[in-house]
Amino acid sequence: MNTNINPFQQLYFSDDTQTEDTFVALFSDKVLQTAIHPVFQGGNVVLCGTQGCGKTMILNLLRPEIRLAYSKCDRRSEFPVPKEMRCFVSAGINLTRSGITDLVQVTLGKDEDTDARELPRYFADFFNYLVVDDLLNSVKLIGAHPQVFDSLVDLSNIKSFVSCIAEQDCWFGSLASATTLPELQQLISSRIQFYRGWVNGNHTHTEPPREIRTQKSGIGEPIARMAECLRKQGVVREDVPVLIRVDQIEEMHRAFTDRQRRLLLEFRRTINRAFARRDARIHYRGGARPYGWNNPEFLTIAGSAARLENRRDYLLIDMDEELFARRETPNSIFEPFALDAFQKRIGYFFKVEEGQLRPTLAKSVFGKHPSPTERLGALSEDPSDAQIDKALALDVAADTLEWSQGWRIFLRNLYRTGHAGMLDAALATAWGRQTGGANKKREHRESPPPDEAPWRDRKWWRKERTDLAVLQLMVRNQQRFIWWGYKDICSLSGGNITVFLHICHRIWDGFLKSESTKPENERTDLLKGATIDRNIQAAGVLFASNEWFKKLPEEPGGHSRQSFVEQLGVRLNEDMMRDLRMAYPGGNGISVPSAKYLSEDDDVSALRNFIRESVGFGVFVEIEHSSKSRSQGRRTKFYFNPILCPRFQIPEARTKEPYYWTLSELFALAKKANVTLVRSRRDRTDSHFSEAVLPGVEEFFE
Amino acid sequence: MSYRPWGPLNWIISLDGMKEWQFIGVIGTEERSLCAWKLLQEGGLLQKACFTEIQDAYSEKYSGQSDLAMISRRSEFESAGGNVAEIVIMPLMAELYKLQGISARATSAGKSIVLDITCFPKRFFFPILQSLVGDPRVENLILTYTSPEGYAPEGESLYEDIEPWRTLPGFQGDIAVKATWIVSVGFLVESLHGYANDNQHEGMKVLIPFPAPLAALRRTWKAVVELEKDSELKRFEKFRVDALDMSAAFDRIVSLAGKPEKPLAFAPFGPKPTAAAMCLYSIQKNASVHYAQPTVYHPAYSRGIRNSSPEEAVTAYWVKHSSKSLYAI
């Protein structure tokens, strides 16, 4: 086995054209079929999910270049779309890469109202031309490779198609002079070049030239007409759907001034209008992070008071919840996805055919996850009385009662029976501090230790507190709660394949370092069933967790989120360590009343936006749940993305009710973390500029 | 190749006898923001000064301190003869047309411009420099840059809440072409590392500021180490460029483009003079310039001025003389 390669080094294989072959090798075709199927059927579909969940990879399957790459691949990978769904033509736009949102950078030189009214029309026109340009390129590519795409496209009628499309009234004459495909593409390209020049500030006049002003096309219609003409002229068959990708929709909501916010929202409403047409000639495929889709304000439709509606205007596929079950339902496809992704990476980077690899290799490489007592393996089995008392926190100042000698001896003896005994002792200590019911006052420890062991026999009571007991024992012994084994790694991945690969990367790195010091004949061959040492895994997991935390500032607004996470993580760890009775074993999360959390109050909205954006960036998981008490109504709970748990020494499993917080506590934490909830508080900006008398600027507007 | 004078401001100005310069600069929280202007003001060389106060995003952590620092800076400005009422306040993420308005304001007043890039964020000075270079009314153009004594303490981040990796306003370039990356390093380590890590197949030519002021040296090498982490070393081809030598940086860029010229794409995460060289190249070759814009800056991003000597701290560069661009390719 090559001990120089780390097959998990590159996390992302984006939609860059250079990575098409890699895409073919690494795409988990079989396990993602549930996500793939709706994308290739009729109607509009929106893939929504946190960063790194695989939206773009799935949307990429629509690109003809990817299908071509599959055909060229000598690994005998078959295009992972069922044969009956392969008849489609697709084109698309990436809202970030295309630069289309840079239209906010220009002005028509009159006033902001004019910009807000007119620029969305130019946005629609720019959008149309970018998409039809891509559509023509796709058609040409497909037509040039009949051996791959069969008779999907027939270019023999392209001339009549050009005549047909050129005379469509949706262009307002802009393509009328085209008689050949190159001429048509040239006209489209010129229009795109104009817009690129405009948003780059290259034009001396603020307003576009007359031919652009008078030939603006309406959102979506030229694309639909092109699809119609392609079918009508026999370039594509009547039954071939045309699928239009619109990726990174969330990018339309990053604005810093009121003007930008207003314009971008109008642009978004313009795109929504295209979705709302439910035009049978074309079907849209959107890709967005949750915060870019779930805000009702973002779903309003230009020229209407209506909003886009799931199931009516589009089908929403929430990848986090429906596919990877990040919530609390049993996981659906994440585990097979992770196994497959692991297998494919190993096969690709070690150049081994998939069939020749051990099945479910990840399970043998990482091995079995530890039992609670195995997690305690680092604790001394021959502790002194003082060490035991400290490990069980028998003499902490916060304790309400003194432990009797009888209890002390009982607990020490129990503790000394091995790691299982240590766990039992910790649970017995917590049980001793409990009263057995909310109305009972007397703690169990006020009686002598019982003959039976209720902390062992009550299955759920014990199960819910086991992780907390392990955590407390480890930390009080100056050790860390550690994770290893395949199941732990999956659990820490939180249903996100990028996190899974990230953990694999760091563990593999640690493995390579340890192997490099060994003579060649003593090296471990993971491809033949060996397992990476648990200590290397534990160190890799911790490294990955710290690194994930340190990466938070790489994303917009990340410093604030990082600071908030730090404060919350430390607080939760402290609270769990202080929970001597183990009354809140689910204290690795927090819960607030939904009614208050969803309030329209400005400050609450700002806090909610911050939290939801954090959810969108994969920092937290947000789940609505019922309160312990029916009278308290619904609540919303938040947990860390599990990958952050090792850094803060918080068990990732969600076993019980989280801490119940008030909204004020959440605000206080945000304040302590210096989180800026309302960006617009500095109100001198922007308006000052427009009000100022600036001769140079006026001249610029002339 | 033209001779491109650069050096101490007084010497640079003395190369031409003109005394009617228009000044474009930023009044900011940093002490160095007014240094070049004060030198010119004291020498009686300025006809007009167009100052912009750039407000970063509101931050619970920093805005209070920034506001206090600005009060004292404005008062320093007034004491030195500046007119606070003429300062234009703009948001950090202002639109391109407003940024171009800054240069239009100066060019409407005269044909000789000093653009002080010291405290201008790159998203401002790139389009401003582009406008000035392309404007036939601008006959003489000098850039100035003031080196600080040091930067904010190591443990404190110089900036926060960074925007995604994007092209600078007006510098989308030709996105269809496959370009060779030229990267300068020093700041915003995490963004550069993030991009490099996510795009492993892309090689990068890295301009390392060396020699560089001691204040920036540690950050620079840290940035290089961070950039190379998790990547094959051969991806990064390193070239040393004097942090203050804009002319040498420009020549290096031209040589890296090769003959015939390969299309280039820039990521200016290093010193401002190197970034200005990238700007001057990209203006002429329609190269894209990529950056991850912080939205909040440390109120004490830098401290003092180098050697506490304005004459030593301010470096100036002739860019255009008598309508002739000294950086024409």
pLDDT per residue over B228-239, tens digit each? Answer: 877 776 788 999
Task: Put residue A419 in one of left, alpha, beta given phi > 0 → left and psi -120 to 50 → alpha.
Answer: alpha
Residue B156: closest CA among chain A residues belongs to which residue?
A559
Residue A20 CA to residue B14 CA, distance in Å, equals 58
Q: What is the pLDDT of residue A330?
A: 55
From the candidates B95, B130, B168, which should be mutated to test the interface with A, based on the most A CB atoms within 10 A? B95
Is residue B190 over pLDDT 80? no
Residues 75-114 on B with a CB inside 8 Å of A are 88-98, 100-109
CB of B21 closer than 8 Å to CB of B112: yes
SS3 call for A627: coil
User: What type of residue is A529?
Assistant: G
Is residue B187 over pLDDT 80? no
Residues 19-58 on B with a CB inside 8 Å of A are 50, 55, 57-58
Closest CB to B190 among A102, A554, A679: A554
Across the interface, do B201 and A18 touch by the CB < 8 Å criterion? Answer: yes
CB of A641 closer than 8 Å to CB of A494: yes
CB of A248 closer than 8 Å to CB of A59: no
CB of A500 closer than 8 Å to CB of A490: yes
Residues 173-202 on B with a CB inside 8 Å of A are 175, 190-191, 193-194, 197-201
Q: What is the pLDDT of residue A132?
A: 98
Residues 274-303 on B with a CB inside 8 Å of A are 295-296
Residue A498: closest CA among chain B residues belongs to which residue?
B198
B163 close to A (CB below 8 A): yes
Residue in A216, A220, A214 with CA at minimum distance from that of residue A244: A220
CB of B114 closer than 8 Å to CB of B24: yes
Phi first, then psi, for residue B168 (nearest 5°) are -70, 150
Q: Which residue numbers in chain A have pLDDT < 70?
A: 11-20, 30-31, 74-76, 323-332, 679-702
Residue A347 CA to residue A355 CA, distance in Å, equals 9
ipTM for the complex shown: 0.87
CB of A25 closer than 8 Å to CB of A73: yes
For residue A599, with 0-12 CB atoms within 10 Å meaning exposed, 13-18 middle and 19 or more buried, which class applies?
A: middle
Residue B149 CA to residue B144 CA, distance in Å, equals 16
CB of A55 closer than 8 Å to CB of A43: no
Chain B nearest C-alpha distance from A176 (Å): 26
CB of A92 closer than 8 Å to CB of A286: no
Residue A106: closest CA among chain B residues belongs to which residue?
B97
SS3 call for A697: helix
Closest CB to A256 among B91, B171, B200: B91
CB pairs under 8 A between A and B: 165
Q: Write out chain B residues lying below 8 Å of A689, CB-based.
A: 88-90, 94, 98
DSSP for A170-181? GGTTTTTT--SH
Q: Number of helices (H) and strands (E), helices first, in chain B?
A: 10, 16
Q: Measured between alpha carbons, how far is residue A462 from residues A409, A440, A443, A665, B224 in Å?
A: 22, 20, 18, 30, 51
User: What type of residue is B133?
Assistant: V
pTM exceeding the 0.90 threshold for the entire prediction: no
B63 close to A (CB below 8 A): yes
Q: What is the pLDDT of residue A593?
A: 94
Across the interface, do A99 and B175 touch by the CB < 8 Å criterion? Answer: yes
Q: What is the pLDDT of residue A325?
A: 59
Closest CB to B170 among A200, A559, A560: A200
Across the interface, do B197 and A201 touch by the CB < 8 Å criterion? Answer: no
DSSP for A519-585? -GGG---GGGT----HHHHHHHHHHHHHHHHHHGGGSTTHHHHHHHHHHHHHHHHHHHHH-TT---T
Treating both helix axes as pointing N-terminal to C-terminal, what angle do A158-166 and A221-232 enclose, rounded to 10 degrees?
A: 140
Q: What is the pLDDT of residue B1?
A: 63
Residue A671: closest CA among chain B residues belongs to which residue?
B60
pLDDT digits (tens, 9 = 90+) for B273-309: 999 999 999 999 999 999 999 999 999 999 999 999 9
B164 close to A (CB below 8 A): yes
Q: Write out chain A residues lying below 8 Å of B190, CB-based.
A: 550-551, 553-554
SS3 call for A127: helix
> What stretch of H or E contains B268?
strand B264-268
Residue A8 CA to residue A346 CA, distance in Å, equals 9
How are beta strands B159-167 and B264-268 bridged, if at all?
unpaired
Q: What is the pLDDT of residue A241?
A: 94
- Of residues A555 and B267, more confidence is placed in B267
Q: What is the pLDDT of residue A19?
A: 63
Q: What is the pLDDT of residue A344?
A: 87
Q: Write out chain B residues lying below 8 Å of A105, CB-based.
A: 95-97, 169-170
Across the interface, do A11 and B198 touch by the CB < 8 Å criterion? Answer: yes
Phi first, then psi, for residue B30 (nearest 5°) are -80, 140
CB of B209 closer than 8 Å to CB of B216: yes
Chain B nearest C-alpha distance from A231 (Å): 29
For residue A137, with 0-12 CB atoms within 10 Å meaning exposed, 13-18 middle and 19 or more buried, which class applies?
A: middle
